[in-house]
Amino acid sequence: MKVVVRLDVMLALRKMKSKDLAARIGITEQNLSLLKSGKVKGIRFATLAAICEVLDCQPGDLLEVVVD
């Protein structure tokens, strides 16, 4: 099982660009891109809370557990 990041789906639903989200939550575009592609080991609660606040969603909308 692995955790898949569905951030790109939420961004599309909210019609928001990655660049704007990165600026609003205070992380670099590069880090946000890594998060979107799932190339990170983890996400801090502070970052997750900031994304949820900006995109008006729940952590479950951004993360999904899938079976390999």
Partner 1 sequence: MPRQNLERIRRTSRFLVWVVSAVMILLPIGILLAFLWGGEPEQWLNGAFVSGPTQTLGAVALAVIYGVVALQLAVALGGLATLRALFQSFAHGEIFGVVSSRLILRLGQWLIALTILRICSYSVISLAATWSNPEGQRSLSIAFSSADMLSLLAASLLFVIGWVMCEARMVVEENREFV
Calculate the CA 67 to chain-centre distance. Answer: 20
Among residues 5, 45, 51, which one has the least CA distance to residue 25? 51
CB under 8 Å to 63, separation ≥6 — which residues? Answer: 3, 4, 5, 6
| 31 is a contact residue toward partner 1 (CB under 8 A) | yes
Out of 6, 18, 29, 43, the only residue in the binding site for partner 1 (CB under 8 A) is: 43
| 41 is a contact residue toward partner 1 (CB under 8 A) | yes
Residues 6-25 that bind partner 1 (CB under 8 A): none
Query: Which residues of this chain interact with partner 1, rule CB under 8 A?
Result: 27, 31-32, 34-35, 40-44, 47
